[in-house]
Structure 1
C-alpha cells in the first residue's frame, strides 16, 4: 500500500440514485495523469465502497468478502490509471 499516495477509503450506504447498482468508485486524479508538482495541498483521492449494493448482491459473508476484494482492486487500479477495458482483459470484471 506504500504506492497509494494521498488516498482515502470510505464506505457509504448507497451510491448515487442514477447508478443504484454501483459497487465502488474512484474519485481523483490517476497517477498517470499527475504532472510534476501535482498535489501540493490537494485533497486526497477517494475510493468509495457502497454497502447496499454489495450486501444485496452477495449470498453470504464469504461471497461478500470476495466481492469487496475485487471492488477494491478495481478502484485501486483506476488510481494507477488502469481503465475498465484493461481490467477486463486482465480478468478483473
Structure 2
C-alpha cells in the first residue's frame, strides 16, 4: 500500500473517534513512518513488533505547571502493520485498532488496561 493511502487510513481512524476525544488531541502530532527508529524501539531490536507509539505526557499525569511544551506525538508504523495483515481490510482494521490504542495511552491507559479492555470486547 502506498504511503498516501495508508495515511488516509490513519486520518479516517482518527475521524472515527468520538468528538470529545478529538478535542483533547489538540496538542498531539500524529505521523506515519515506515519503521520505528532505534530511539523509539528503546532497546528492542525487533522493529516489526511495534505497530504504533505514543510519546509524551499522558493527560492523567499533567499537573498545574504543564505548559509551553512540545506536542505529544503518536506515530503509526506502516511496514509492521502491513507485515501482520493479509488483506487491505485487515490493514484498515489494524490501523483503527492501533490508532485507538495509542490515543488511549494519551488518555493515560496502560498496555495492561488496554489488553483487558480488548479481552472484554472480544468476549462480548
TM-score by length of 2: 0.69
Q: What is the Cα deviation at residue 66 of structure 1?
A: 0.3
Count of aligned positions: 92
Listed as ranges, the matches of 1:1-93 within 5 Å are 1-16=22-37, 18-20=45-47, 21-40=49-68, 42-91=69-118
Deviates more, 1:9-18 or 1:57-66: 9-18
Unaligned runs of 5+ in 2: 1-21, 39-44, 120-124
Structure 1 length-normalised TM: 0.91
More strand as a share of residues:
1
Considering fraction of residues, name the structure with more helix: 2
Deviations 1:28-51 (A, max 9, x none): 0000111113122x1110000111
Q: Deviations over 1:37-93 (max 9, x none)?
A: 3122x111000011110111111111000000000000000000000111111117x
RMSD: 1.6
Computing the radius of gyration from Cα coordinates, the structure with the larger value is 2
Structure 1 residue runs of 4+, over 3 Å off?
none
